[in-house]
Every structure is written in structure tokens, then in C-alpha cells.
Structure 1
Amino acid sequence: MWRRVLLCLGSVALGVEGLAQRAVDVVRPEERQKTQQAIVKKEEKRAQQTSVIEFRGQQAFKEKELRSQLKEEITTVEEYGLSPARADDLAFFLEVFYRKHGYAKVNVHYVIESQNRVRLDITEGPLMTLSKVIFDGNIKEPTDKLFEYVVGPTRERYSKLQKNLPFVAADMEEGANLVHRLYVAEGFLDSVVDPPRYVFHEQSNQVDVVIPIHEGRQYFFGITSFSGRTIYDSETLRGQMSDLLQQPYTDARVADIPRRIEAYYKARGYYDVKVDATAAPDEAVNGQVPVNVVISAGPVYHFDGVTVNGLDRLHPSYVIKRFSRLEGKTYSPDVLDERFRTLMKTGLFNILQIKPVRVDGHLLRLDISAEEAKSKEFGFSIGYGTYEGGIVGAQFRDRDLFGYGRPLTTSIEVSQRGYKGEILYEDPFFLDTDFAFKARLAAIRFDFDGYSKFDLGGRVELTRKITKQDEAGLIFSVRHVKIIDADIKPKFLGDQNYFVNTLGFTNTLDMRESPFVTPRGFLVNNTLDLASSAFGSDIEFIRGTIRTGYYLPFGPKPLTPGVVEDKPGTPLQRWFQQSWIGFGARAGIIHSLTVSGPEEATAIPIDERFFNGGSDTVRSFGERDLGPHDHRDHPLGGEFFTVFNVEYTFPIFGELQGAIFTDAGNLLPTSEEPGLDDMRYAIGAGLRYKLPVGPIRLDYGVNPDPHPQEDFGAFHFSFGFAF
């Protein structure tokens, strides 16, 4: 399967019946940001054009940059007039700007030349750089770690590659505060970090910074006791926060205890649970702080009815039916969160608020307020793929067909190798069950190396989540395939005009976290489909594939919100923690049910065979170029394939990443002798640019042992993960 890069040029959401009633009257973040950007742009333009201010003596910065830094103050002068106080503000904030860039001895003096003109005389002084930071008194925390905290505020404004940082006193003070916060986060409650002292070296224009530290005792959690109406035993409750209790004592971790315990109770129906955790550092023995947790569980609540308001075009029953089966069941915030996420993924809502309201007895009615999103969307796309060449596309999507919340999508895509048109109907809640239904009609005209085809057909899918991570499905497909042009001899093509109807099963176990950005965890996917004359198929075969992947980021998992966690390690360690390694393996086999022996290799039509090589398989080969070829060097495909991948990805700068990889795989002409014969390999490197929906990739794979007629390597430009 080939990959390509598609960039969305633009999309337009189309309203249907005016504005939907807003569930909550709020200013959206994007609107607030747009308004703020307009104000900043206006201030910037005014600051650059005004004649109310003049600069003298500046050398390190251009006047345009100085005006930009003072745009808010200049705007104030323009609107309310010039006064000594406002002139003094201009001089003050200009000095602040210079000092933030290392000009510690800068002096700015203002002169009011007329009623509407002020002159700023600047004496910049030398650029002072940071020489070294000396920590006096640190024993438990390493100097390298503390140094990164101190220089962190300065590094935020400069390239990570810059070695000589400017000296900024305000940054050093902020850095010293960060060091103190680090000590407190590590349990040093009595620690004291004195204000920095500075030693100026006038000849070299460098500054040494000395930071005295008094660490004191490090505290840990001691005995944790529980009182009140606890219901559950102490060991069970302690297990909900065992990771907290193993870390150094901090107030933030104590504050996290009630949230942990309340979440445990609420997941079991105790909607009114109240938990209070009190620590007594003054009563600590040998640094062990006792903690008492008071619990008031309250009664168990059950779900009652549902009310919905704020909908305009979408029928309220669409929302009500998502929650109706909860009636009478024990309250669970996790179940509500899952239903909420499911509804938001449909794209039908801008705002969706679910509020449990107590009603008669220990029942909770769900009052739902919603604001509908625009249901219709029209978009264009443009892209490029190594194999397909240039690509343009258009798509129209109605997420709320006839007000029932069922999406209908029509799309067309044209590339340098062909075109594709598709109509897709989706029902994420088929017959108001947990099954998802999809029906797809598609027409494809595509030019492969050696032959061109026209493919017209349909496909229906019925899938269901068995667990949050495991999904199974049944698929029925009907296709008419016709080879409309070929340079490959007919005996290698197989049937050139046929119907292929298949019934298949698929199962995916996806344990990955953040699968589109930096995946963590493993993935297993397998498919099995059967083409039979019983379904009206002209050809008969059985086909199966399996795919596994394991992705291991080297950074630690983020801790639970509310728990303080410092950034550990040296710059090299932090760089390494942003890298990850992935392992992938795939295999597939297709076998004819009507032909065996020497003729079996060509009994399967060429368009149903497997191909190997390309941007997501063995990357030392061009797309579909690995495996059997005819005398004109056209790929013929095969009936059994394997692919193995290992890739290490590391940060370069910002969202740009580098990668090194090795691939292996084979493609055998017949399924009667599957195995690992004739393995081909790739060793290579590439670049990735991270996007929210996946990376853009540029790879080059080298063939370490090229056979005759094989290339030394291949470039691939594509989108998404390789495996």
C-alpha cells in the first residue's frame, strides 16, 4: 500500500438553518485569540509609524525592534498624551528589554522635547554573559541538574545550541526560585535557597553567580490512616495511591489523595463522597510524615432519565438513546466520560455538557446541554506521493444526514496515476446498538507499473468494540475488476475481467497511547477473508494477513495530574527521553481454492496478489518493486509476503525529528511454499516533521546486498508512520 502527503488547502462549514441555540454563552478561545491578534497588529502598526518617540544611542538593536517592544506604551501615549510619568514608563520598559538580553548596565534617560515628542537617550553598556553558576551547599541534588533549572528561564528565549548565555539578573532570581521549588517537590520542606550573589568580571564582561543552598531534611510519607465511613479496607484504599506514598512528601501530593480516593468511590456509585486528607509534618518522626484521611462515602446513586436542550437540527433522540440504557444502573463517571467522548468524536457538537442532577431517592438525572456544530463541510486537498506523484482532491461531508446524526461523505481524488471517486455512509450506532456500520461505493482507475485497471464496487462493514482496545468486525465486499491496459503478458496477469466477492473477518487489538503523535504500547491486527462462488465470485481464494507493532518511547510516562514532577536529567538525558524505538512485523498469504500445482502461482489475478517494497515496507526498494518481475522488469506480485521493521526516532529541533531504520522482507510467488526465503533488506535514515495527525516523512533506504537489476536504494516522501 502506498503512502502520500496530503495537505488541506481549506474547508468551509456550511450552515443549514441559521445559528444553533447556544448551550452556554461564552467567547470561544479562537475568537478571543483572533481579537487579541488584531489589537496587537494595530498597536504594532501605530508604534512603527508614530513620530512621538525618538531613539538615540542604540547599537545592539534596530529602531524597528525597539518600537515593537514598546508598542503598548507608545499606544498609551498616542491615545492619552505625553506626560513625565508616561515618558518614564517608556524609559523603564526599554531598560527591562535591554537587561533581558544581557545588558546589565544599560541606562535610558528620557527628554521631553515638546508636548508630543519624547527622546530616549540610551547608554547600552557592555553585553554581559554568564560565566558559571556555583551552588554552595547542595548535597542530595546534583549540580548539573540544578544548573539547568537556573538557566532555564534564559534558555527559553534562545536557541538550545547557544552555549554562551547572556547574564540576566531577573532570570537568575527566577531560576533560584525554581531550584527551591525543586527541593520542595523532592520533599525538602525546610530547604532555603538564598538570593543569588553576583561576581562581575569587568575585563571579560562575564558574571559568576553564587547560589547558597540549605537543604535540610528530606521528608517522606509515613503512616496513612483512614477514618469515617470507609466501607473498603485500608489496604484497598492505600492501593489507590501507592505510587504517591512511595515518593517524597509534598503538599501537592497530599492534595492529590482526596482526588484519588474520591475517584475510586465515585466509580462505584458513591456520587456524594467527601474525602479530606490532613498531614502533620510537625509530628514527623525521622522524616516520616503521618497522614490521616477522613472519608464520608454517602449512599450509592443510580442513573435515572435524560433531558436534552440546545439542539436545533439534530433530533434529541439521537443523544437520549446514547444514555437510555444506563437507566437504573449504578452511577459511574467513567461511563459518562466514555459516552461524552464518543459523542464528541462524531463532530456534531461544539459544546456538550453533561450535568448529573439529584432527583427523588438516590437517583441522578442527566441534564445535557449542547451546541451543534455546522453539519456540512466542503474541503480541498493537495499533496504529493513518491509513487502517485501530484494529488488533488475534493470532499463534501454531511455529518447530520436528515437530522439523524448519520454522516454521508462524497469525495474525489485525482493523481498523476489515476483517479478515485467514493461515497461513504456511516452509522456509528447501527440500529441504536453498539455496532458501527459503514457502506462504501467506490470507482478507481489506476495505472500501476505494467498494467492499468478499472475497479468498481461496494463494501459493507459491521464492527463492534469488544473492549476499549479490542475491535472486531465482519466485512462483505463486491468488486468488478477489469485490466484495461497491460504491458505484462496475459499468462502472468491471470484473469483480466472478473467479479471478486469476499466475506471477511477483522480484529484489532490496539493498546497504543497517542497513536498519531508518539505512540506507546503495542498493536495487533489480523484479517481473514474468503472469496467463493457461493457469494457470486468468479474467482475463489482464502486470504489472511497479520500485523504487529510495538512502540517504546524512552521518556517516562507523565504522572497523574496534580502530582509535581520535575524535569529530570541532563540535556542529553532529556534529549534521549524524547526519542523512541518501534518494532513491526507483518505477513500475508493468499491461496487459490480451485487451482494447485505449477499453475497455482498465476491462478490469483495480479490485482489480488500482494506486493512489497515502498515507503511503509522495505524502504530500499521503490513502491511494489520487491519480488518477482517479468522480462521487462514489471513487478508481478506474489502470494506470500513478510515485512519486518525496526526504527529509532530522535529529536532534532522543534517538531523536526530524525530517524534511522532497518527493514527486511520477502515476496514469494506461490503460497504452497511459504517461508523466509529470498529475504531482502534495507538500512537507512530519514526526517520526520510532527503534525497532530501524524508525521510527514522523507526516507532513503540503502540495499546492502543488491541483486542484478536492483537499485542501490530508494527515496520515499510520504505521510504517517511507516508501520
Structure 2
Amino acid sequence: MKARVAAAVRCTVLTALCLAHAAVALLGASPLGAQEPDADEPAALEAIPTLRPRAPSPLAGRPLTAIDVVTRGGRWAAPITLRNTRVGELFSEPLARRAARELVDSGRFAEVDVAAAAEGEGVRLTLTVLPRRVVAAIRVAGGTLDEPEMLTDARLAVGGELTAPELPKLAERIRAFYARRGFLKAKASVEAVDTDEPMAVLVRVEVTEGAPTALARRRFLVDGASPELRAELDEYELEAGDRADQELLAAADQAFIKHLQRRGWHRAEVKSRLVQRGQHTELYVAVDAGPLIRLRFEGNRAFDAQQLTDALDLEATEDRTVMTLAKRARAFYVERGFLDVQVDGSMRGGPRDRVHHLVLSVREGARVRVVAREYPCLTGSRSADQVGSEIDSFLSEELPGGGLFGSVDPARVDEGLGPTSGTGSRPAPMELNPWQTYAPDVYERAIKHLQDLYRSEGYLSATVGPAVLLRRRCAIGSPPGGCHPIGARPRVSTQCAHDERGLPREEPPPPPGSSCVPDPKRGIDCEPDVVLHIPIKLGPRTQLYDVAFEGNQRIVERVLADALELELGEPLSQVALEQARRRLLDVYAEEGFAFAEVETHLDLSPDRSRGRARFVISEREQVIVSGITVRGARRTSESLITSRVALTKGRPYRRSWIRQTEERLATLGVFGSVNVSLEDPYVPARHKRVVVSVQERAPQYLEVRPGFGTGEGFRVTFEYGHRNLGGRAIQLRLRTQLSLLPSTLIFDDEVREKVDQLPLGKRLERRNTASVEFPDVGLGPLFRLGIDGVEVNDLAREFLITKRAGIVTLIYRPTRAFSAQLGGSVELNDAEILGFDSDARDAFRAFLRKNPIPEGESLVVAQRVGVTWDRRDVPFGATSGTLLAASVEHARAFPLGDTEERIADFLRLSSRVAGYVRLNSAGLALATSFAWGYNHHLIPNRQTYPDRLFFFGGIDSVRGFLQDSVIPQDITDELLAISDPQERDRLLRDVVLRGGNVMVNPRVELRVPLGGVLATALFIDTGNLWLDPDSVRPFDLRYSAGSGLRAETPVGPLAFDYGINLDRRAWEDFGAFHFSIGLF
């Protein structure tokens, strides 16, 4: 009895079947033999043996003399007392099951063994238990392999069950994982550390990977390899000296197979194996390449072999069968107007030939043009031309051609530019017109698009198509390359029938002779000009007259109705209903119902003129956060991450808190990706753990970034940074930026003369910066503190300033789009007004008497407040979104040394508002911007420090002028009032500084994509500048217009713009060319 019972009960807390197993063991098998097999069952079932009824237990009815609970495993032993089973009770199998159930239900044990033995006149009941714990967190030390992959392979996860015997098994699985990845001498240890929670443990994994096992030699086993194949063997990814990683080997085999297939060995197979020879590991790679497949084309005239080969895209595809390639070649022809093309494929070559030829034979036929489209049965507000425009817009996106640029006919060039004789005969390039091309598959999608468009407008029963091709047969005897159509173009009789409810009826199939089908074998040719017959039947237009909800218990209907954003009485749209359904899911997700489901049902009136939208909601349980688990943070402090998690244990799993968590962690700058999700996201439960998965970026980086701009010349930036000092996301940046503007790129003679007199040390602009940024300053996760040390040598148009500054900035960033800054700086500035000859010095002194400007050394103490709200889709070439930026700076400048300069105390206000509107899906966009600035002096009759003035002209303001070349309007008025040109030129030279205290700058730009990475733009820039705020006339503006070319690059769009000065002064240029990286 003891042996049988001891072997009977072994229960795990993860299954309820264990109690049934115990019942079978204690009570004996059920009398299955009493059941007679069905006569219809297979004969195999008749061989099942019958079991005798169980024998009564000899211990049944005896009193319990002792109950022992024994802990095995060597960990987490604790006194255990059964409450539902006591000494003195009469022993029975149900009593043993009750005792085992009590221990299992406690959740503390993974296994329970029950044994009963006679002891005198009674029974001793022994229960042997294996304690379990739940993994609360995992800490991994050592090892270089991917941690999540290692833990998955070891079957160790947060929230999982752990027992003491499992610890050495975990260590062995981790060691085996490292051995499989090339670390044969790796060692691993796993330790479970108790926590304050009785059932929770912290698992520590320590890996000592040792030296990796390197490949001592690589050998290829190739049977009869050709020279071409042997030349490809070096492309195998692993070589001698690499780690003997079995997974890398498998990946290398697959990569080499794909490489050989791309190079023409379509049937290649590769298998590798590791061979241990003494202390060395050798790699043997067996390559069975098969024949080399070479592609050939026959009969192609409109396109050469290279164009057809590029269209097949053999390197990117994995299906290289003859049928597939022939199908692709035909699709290439059809999309370019060759509707009647025939492509046949064949493989030529014997079993022993090393080279096989895959031959595609092409019979092109004439190009087919759609000359007209007709839309019978069309009703509604959309005209036939509008329907055609909708189809054309779809075709232009799906078919080649239709761009602004294309091949030019050389004959037309000769006619316009010469020569006009002796040019020879050259073929004209093919002009692709997507609007005249009939590709059946594309037209089928276009018709589906048009039908969906009508149904989104409330015509729920609208039908469009099918398209019928109206085409005549060519007469026998038509000249080669020509066609004489027989008779009048066939017509299709369309009934436009509707049933009694007004729903469209299906049209009968067109008559057999309505469309000619070419058959070269029978000598049947068809005309190249075709007409498309596309019936459009709309049916009744359905209006939304009611909205109903079913199944909602936690959220009232008023809140759900407001979230729908559906208007009663408006046309009913399936698209709008789907969007409304998603908004309902968003509402429930915000309240923590992560597993809620919403179905949409549409109840229509008999005539389909009215419809009721019914939303059937399955709320399920509200998800409550039971804990937070961080994964992927090997270098970053987990406490830093959890401090930025907006979700809280014991509170709902809200979607807005998920977004806040992801944004807060992304702004640290440490992670390449952040994802917040539920553990076991497809298993609904009320209490769920939240998993924060992060992918850390490399902690250190070194970048060298060259650049060029028409305003600053050649530029190079060196930057070293550490993103994660001390694992606390403290960022350190050391950056040096140098730029030099060559004299040949200075188009203003006066400025070039000044700059040429400077030594190279002053001409070389530089900006050296050392920055430290702290993400945690005790104000919560939304604040960060930056400390910068800056050394600048800035060469402007009229002055040179050297600045050494210390800057402290407190940044508040609640979302990725919005930020606010509060900062202060102490600056030691040295300003030098350019101009060195005697005439320039006299002019400078005269200018200073009228416009005193600080020059020389000064100490500037400044405080700044700024706000930025950036909702642009991309920062350097936005096509949608808005940007709002504003700042206020208070600066107080103290002159140093022996100088007559006076203290300057002023406020500098600046702001910019920009909006971007995407006009179509191809990228056509309208960009607008309005910027302004104003310097307000707190001490009367004092002037602005030079680098705080506003300057006008150039790529970032008005592109019809050179950089910072616009003279303030109040000074311009004085110059325009002088009629003597020589006197005006003399006074113009007296304007040694072209900065102002008031600036406005409205701009508008139309950004037009050209295809690929190229785009163009049409722009109008306006604005003006005033030195004296009392002289401001807001509508007295300067204007420039122009265009440019843009090219997308990985670092941002390259912009080449030329602006024309529309209101040119006598001393100004006609226009200006500008180059930059990035758009406003």
C-alpha cells in the first residue's frame, strides 16, 4: 500500500488533473471492463484489455496516528501544519486526497507525494512536498551574448515558477547555450535570493564564458567547381579565426545559399559541419551548386536585355522558376502598354552541363492605347470627367510614366538646337503614359478603389465594373505595323437595372464579339486603340439615423457616443464606422480594458435609405497592473527606468500612461527602442505584469560630420559622447565645430575685402562645447538639467565676436513634442567691428556716434525662458504638422577694461510659428512660417550687443538676398532719400553693421515631389528689419520669390535654392543662390 500510494500522488500547482491522477492511484482503476465496445468501433478497440475492480485498501478505517510533512529539495523548508486533516481521523483514500489538495491549494508547492504506512493499529500519513517560488526579477552578470535569447533558451522568465532542483538544470541549459554559440569552456551558476515577499525570489545568473572556440581552418568541399564558382567561395561569411557558433554557421549557410542563387546558381545547397581535431576546430563547408543558370531573351525589341533583367529583380526574389520569371516579364510589358505580349520560358541544358540557359521568348505585339472610357449608368454628383480623374490619379501611382522628367527625343533636340542636317536616324525613346495604358490587374484595383470611394460616401450597394474592353479586329491585308479596323466599334448594351428595393442588378456578360482577342496562330490581329466600358451603378444612398450600444457596463453610452464622432443624418460610411470602432477601443484601452473587443453591425431599412450602427461590446475585465518588469537594460539602472514608468502597481493599465512611459524613456537618449506591453499579451486576466522592453544604444560614440553651406562655407564637426555615465543616463558631449568660408563664395565685394584682411585664426569659425546633461535632478522624470561650457569664434558679416560662456539650463519635457527651458549664462565676450583702413575707421566712428554699439570686452549675464511645441512629422523636411517656438532672454552687459562703453540692459524676444499641410499622398505639401523678433531696452538710449541683434537675408529668412545682407529699413529710407549716387554710396559704406532690433519674416513654400529622392519648391519670402523700434511699419516689407531643387539624403534633404529680389535697390543684387541641409 505504501509503495502504491507513494507513487500515486505527484501534483503540480499548474494543473488540476493531478488530483484526478491521485484518485486513480488511491482508489484503483475504474471498472472500464464493464463497458461493452460498440459493435461499429474498429477492431483495434476490441484489443483493449479490461481491468479488474480495485481491491479495498487494507489501511482503510484505521485511525491516523501521525501526519508528517517532509520538505525535499534543500531550500525553503518551513513548519507546515494541515488544518483540514487531523490525527485521529479514520484513514481513507478521500482523506489522503483532501490532505494533498490542501497543500496544493496553498500555492507554495510544485509537487506533493503522499505515502501511507501502517503504524501499530493506526496509519502514519507522510506528505513529501517540493516548495516553489515565483521569479520576481532576474539579474545577469557576465557574458556577452544576447540576454533575452539566453533566458528564453534556458526557460527562465519573470513570473515563472522555480524550485530548488531546477537551479542546476537552469545553469546547465545556460552553459549549453553558450557552448552552442562557440564558448565551449563556459560556466554558469544560478542562485535564487529570497526577497521581502515570501513567495518571490531574485534569480542571479553569473556567466563565465571563457575564451571562445575559434575556427582553426575553413575548407570547402565542392564537386567539380567551375572557376566562377570558386571565385564566389570567399563570400562565405565565416572564416578562420571566427567563433565556432552553430547558429552563426546555420545563418552563414543560408546567406551563402541566397548569394549563390543571386549569382545564378538557382539550385545551390550548402551544408557545414564542425570537426574537432585535437585542440583545433575545423569547418567543412559542402557546396552543391548545381548548374549555373544564365538568362537570355529572344524577340525583345522595345526593351534591351539589361532592362528586362533589372525588371525581373533576380537578386531580391527567391522564386526563380521559369513560370514565375515569364509571368514577371509579361507583367513588365503589360504595365508599359504591350497588352498582347506573349512570353514563353524554357530551360536549355543537359544533366551534365555546368551552364544552363533560361530563355524567355518574347512576342511583343503592338502597344495598346486606351483612347476613351465610358461610364454607363453613372448618376450622382460626380461627373464622368471627375470619375476619370480619380482613375487617372490611381493609374499614375501604380503604373510607370507620368513624371515631370523623362527621355528626350533626339530629333526634337536637333530641330530646336541643331544641327539640322547630317544627324542620321536615331530611334525616339519610348514615352510611357499611364493614363493610356491598360493593365488588367491595375484596372481591377482602380475599379475597386472607385467602388470603395462611392461606398465611403454612403452608397453601400454601389457597384463599379467589370471593365469591358471594346476592340475591333484588324482586316486581313493590313500593312505590317498597321491596322485597318473592321466595321464600327462594338457597343455593349447596358440595362442599368435595379431590383424592387433599388439595389443594382448584375449585368449580363458582354456578347462574344465585343472585344477582339489576338491569336497569331490563326492570323487574328486587333486594333491598338481601345475603349473601356465601365458601368457604374450607385443604388440608394444610406444615411445614419441611429447609433446603439450593446454590452457596455462600465462606460456610459453618452461617453461612447461622444467618442464615435459620427453625425446623425450624414451619409453612412463603412470607413467612418471602422474608425469609430477603433475610437471605442481607444476609450476602453484608456480605462484599462486592454482585452475589450468591439464589433460593428449595420441594420438597414428595407429600401436601404437609412441605417443604424450597432456596436456590440465585450468589455471583459479591467486590467490592473500587478508589477513592472524591465527587460533588456544591461547597463542602465533599473530604478532609473522604473522611476519614469507612469503605470503604477494596483492601478489600471491605461493607454495614455503607456505612451507617457515610452516618451519619458525615449527622451533619456539611451535607448534605441522602447516598448511597453503586457506579459502574455494574448491571455486575458484581471491582474497582469507590465513588461518594459528596451534596446540600449552603444554607450559611447565618436562622430565626424562634414558639411557645407553658402552662409558658412565648408564645415566639419567632431563629437565624442557618452550616453550613459554610471548607468544613470547622464550624458557627456565634447564637440568641436570648425567652418571656413572661402573668399570665392563671398559674393559681396565689401564683405570679401574685410574678411580677406583677417588672419586665418580669426577667419576660421569655431564652436567648442563641453556638455553634461542630468536626467534626474530631484524634480521628477519630466525635468532634466544641462550644464554647458562654450567657446565660440563667430565671424559675422560686419563683426567678429569671441565668446566664452558657462550655461545652465533646466528643461521640462512632459511629452516628446513639447518642452520648456529655463536657463542662465555668464559670458565673457570680445566684439570687434570689421573694417581696418582709414576710411572705414572714420565711417565706423561716425556710425558709432549715431548708433552706439558695444565693442571690446564685456561681461554678459543672461537669463532665458523658452518654449517649443513641435508637432512636425519630420524635423528637416516637414510635410505636415505645426511648430511653435518662443523665447525671452534678459541680458545685461558690463563693459570691461578702459572703455567708454556703457552698461546695456535689454530683453530679447523672438518667436516662430510654422504650419505644414500635406496636399496629396505623393508628398505635395504647403509650408508656411512666420518669425519675428524684438529687442526692448530697459535702460533708455542704450544699444544692443552685436550678437543679440537680428540679421536679415539668406537661407533662413529671405532667399533673394545674400546672408545677413539686408540693411535695416529705417537706414534704407535715409539712403533712398539721397538723389546723388556718389553721396549714397559714401553713406552706404558708413553702414558698418546691418543688424536691427525689430524683425518680421513671413514665408510660404510649395514643396513638389519629382519622383525618387528629388523634389522641387516654389517659394515667396517676405519680411523686413528695423534698427529703431519707433520706425517700424509692419506692411513695408521686402519680397523675394524663387525655386529650388531638393535631394533626400540620410542626413536630411539637400536644398539648392535661388531667390529673386522682387524690389531691388540700386546697391542690391538681382538675386542669390543658397545651399543648405534641411528645410524650414
Bin of the TM-score, shorter chain as denominator length: 0.7 to 0.9
1:635–1:467: structure 2 CA closer, same or farther, 3 Å change rule? farther
Note if contact 1:406-1:427 (Cα within 8 Å) is conserved in structure 2: yes
Q: 2:640 aligned to 290, 294, 318, which one? A: 318
- The within-5 A match list for 1:364-383 is 365-383=689-707
Q: 2:549 aligned to 226, 229, 232, which one? A: 226
Note if contact 1:618-1:643 (Cα within 8 Å) is conserved in structure 2: no
Q: 1:182 aligned to 427, 440, 453, which one? A: 453
In the alignment, the residues of structure 2 paired with residue 109 and residue 579 of structure 1 have an alpha-carbon distance, to the nearest angstrom, of 45
Residue range with higher mean Cα deviation, 619-628 or 691-700: 691-700
Aligned counterpart, 1:684: 1041
Query: Number of matched residues?
Result: 666
Would you say 1:447 and 2:795 are equivalent positions?
A: yes
Q: 1:147 aligned to 370, 374, 388, which one? A: 388
1:620–1:173: structure 2 CA closer, same or farther, 3 Å change rule? closer
Deviations 1:563-601 (A, max 9, x none): xxxxxxxxxx888x93324141302114263xx44xx34
Would you say 1:196 and 2:414 are equivalent positions?
A: no
Q: 1:640 aligned to 965, 987, 997, which one? A: 997
1:341–1:689: structure 2 CA closer, same or farther, 3 Å change rule? farther
Note if contact 2:866-2:885 (Cα within 8 Å) is conserved in structure 1: no
Note if contact 1:466-1:472 (Cα within 8 Å) is conserved in structure 2: no
Deviations 1:462-503 (A, max 9, x none): 122478765433211111112468426475453311221212
Shift of 1:175: 2.8
Note if contact 1:154-1:171 (Cα within 8 Å) is conserved in structure 2: no
Amino acid at match of 1:714: A
Aligned counterpart, 1:618: 958
Aligned counterpart, 1:717: 1075
Aligned counterpart, 1:355: 677
Q: 1:422 aligned to 744, 769, 784, which one? A: 769
Task: Give the aligned CA root-mean-square deviation in angstroms.
Answer: 4.2
Aligned counterpart, 2:665: 343
Q: 2:879 aligned to 496, 501, 518, which one? A: 518
Residue range with higher mean Cα deviation, 222-231 or 105-114: 105-114
Amino acid at match of 1:606: P
In terms of Rg, which structure is larger? 2
In the alignment, the residues of structure 2 paired with residue 706 and residue 421 of structure 1 have an alpha-carbon distance, to the nearest angstrom, of 39
Aligned counterpart, 1:214: 537
Shift of 1:663: 0.7
Q: 1:125 aligned to 365, 385, 402, which one? A: 365
Would you say 1:407 and 2:533 are equivalent positions?
A: no
Deviations 1:54-85 (A, max 9, x none): 4332211212333444565999999xxxxxxx
TM-score when normalising by structure 1: 0.80
Aligned counterpart, 2:200: none
Q: Unpaired segments of 5 or more residues in structure 2?
A: 1-141, 154-251, 267-290, 351-355, 404-431, 475-482, 484-526, 741-763, 972-986
Shift of 1:380: 1.7
In the alignment, the residues of structure 2 paired with residue 74 and residue 303 of structure 1 have an alpha-carbon distance, to the nearest angstrom, of 45
Would you say 1:58 and 2:300 are equivalent positions?
A: yes
Would you say 1:171 and 2:448 are equivalent positions?
A: no
Note if contact 2:831-2:946 (Cα within 8 Å) is conserved in structure 1: no
1:51–1:452: structure 2 CA closer, same or farther, 3 Å change rule? same
Note if contact 2:827-2:859 (Cα within 8 Å) is conserved in structure 1: yes
Shift of 1:400: 1.0
Shift of 1:241: 0.9
Aligned counterpart, 2:907: 543
Deviations 1:163-187 (A, max 9, x none): 4633323333333333333333334
1:701–1:194: structure 2 CA closer, same or farther, 3 Å change rule? closer
Aligned counterpart, 1:666: 1025
Aligned counterpart, 1:390: 714
1:705–1:225: structure 2 CA closer, same or farther, 3 Å change rule? closer
SS at match of 1:399: strand
Aligned counterpart, 2:979: none
SS at match of 1:610: coil
In the alignment, the residues of structure 2 paired with residue 521 and residue 235 of structure 1 have an alpha-carbon distance, to the nearest angstrom, of 32
Residue range with higher mean Cα deviation, 543-552 or 306-315: 543-552
Same amino acid, percent of matched pairs: 20
Shift of 1:532: 6.4
Amino acid at match of 1:476: G
Aligned counterpart, 2:237: none
Note if contact 1:553-1:581 (Cα within 8 Å) is conserved in structure 2: yes
Note if contact 1:542-1:592 (Cα within 8 Å) is conserved in structure 2: yes
1:666–1:41: structure 2 CA closer, same or farther, 3 Å change rule? farther
Note if contact 2:868-2:883 (Cα within 8 Å) is conserved in structure 1: no
Deviations 1:254-306 (A, max 9, x none): 4444432232233234455454433234x555422223234455666655542
Shift of 1:316: 0.9
1:219–1:311: structure 2 CA closer, same or farther, 3 Å change rule? same
More strand by share: 1
Q: 2:822 aligned to 467, 474, 490, which one? A: 474
TM-score when normalising by structure 2: 0.55
In the alignment, the residues of structure 1 paired with residue 1073 and residue 1041 of structure 2 have an alpha-carbon distance, to the nearest angstrom, of 10
Shift of 1:658: 1.2
Q: 1:106 aligned to 341, 349, 360, which one? A: 341
- The within-5 A match list for 1:549-588 is 549-551=913-915, 553=917, 555=919, 578-588=924-934
Amino acid at match of 1:455: K
Shift of 1:322: 0.6
The structure showing larger relative contact order (alpha-carbon pairs under 8 Å, at least 6 residues apart) is 1
SS at match of 1:265: helix
Aligned counterpart, 2:85: none
Residue range with higher mean Cα deviation, 301-310 or 366-375: 301-310
Aligned counterpart, 2:854: 494
Aligned counterpart, 2:1015: 656
Note if contact 2:675-2:693 (Cα within 8 Å) is conserved in structure 1: yes
In the alignment, the residues of structure 2 paired with residue 348 and residue 586 of structure 1 have an alpha-carbon distance, to the nearest angstrom, of 36
Residue range with higher mean Cα deviation, 436-445 or 239-248: 239-248
Aligned counterpart, 1:21: 147
SS at match of 2:1043: strand
Amino acid at match of 1:619: R
Shift of 1:550: 4.2
Shift of 1:327: 4.9
1:375–1:37: structure 2 CA closer, same or farther, 3 Å change rule? same
Would you say 1:531 and 2:892 are equivalent positions?
A: yes
Deviations 1:513-538 (A, max 9, x none): 65541243462513131326699999
SS at match of 1:65: helix
Note if contact 1:666-1:677 (Cα within 8 Å) is conserved in structure 2: no
In the alignment, the residues of structure 1 paired with residue 562 and residue 438 of structure 2 have an alpha-carbon distance, to the nearest angstrom, of 48
Q: Unpaired segments of 5 or more residues in structure 1?
A: 1-15, 27-33, 79-85, 556-572
Shift of 1:702: 3.3
1:616–1:400: structure 2 CA closer, same or farther, 3 Å change rule? same
Residue range with higher mean Cα deviation, 346-355 or 147-156: 147-156
1:278–1:169: structure 2 CA closer, same or farther, 3 Å change rule? closer
Note if contact 2:914-2:928 (Cα within 8 Å) is conserved in structure 1: yes
Q: 1:205 aligned to 528, 532, 549, which one? A: 528
Deviations 1:643-689 (A, max 9, x none): 22131314141351312213121131x56x36338955122112253
Note if contact 1:464-1:471 (Cα within 8 Å) is conserved in structure 2: yes
Note if contact 2:858-2:896 (Cα within 8 Å) is conserved in structure 1: no
Amino acid at match of 1:314: T
Shift of 1:44: 5.3
In the alignment, the residues of structure 1 paired with residue 343 and residue 702 of structure 2 have an alpha-carbon distance, to the nearest angstrom, of 56
Q: 1:265 aligned to 576, 588, 595, which one? A: 588
Aligned counterpart, 2:655: 333
Deviations 1:119-151 (A, max 9, x none): 544322112122222222221343344435545
1:94–1:263: structure 2 CA closer, same or farther, 3 Å change rule? closer
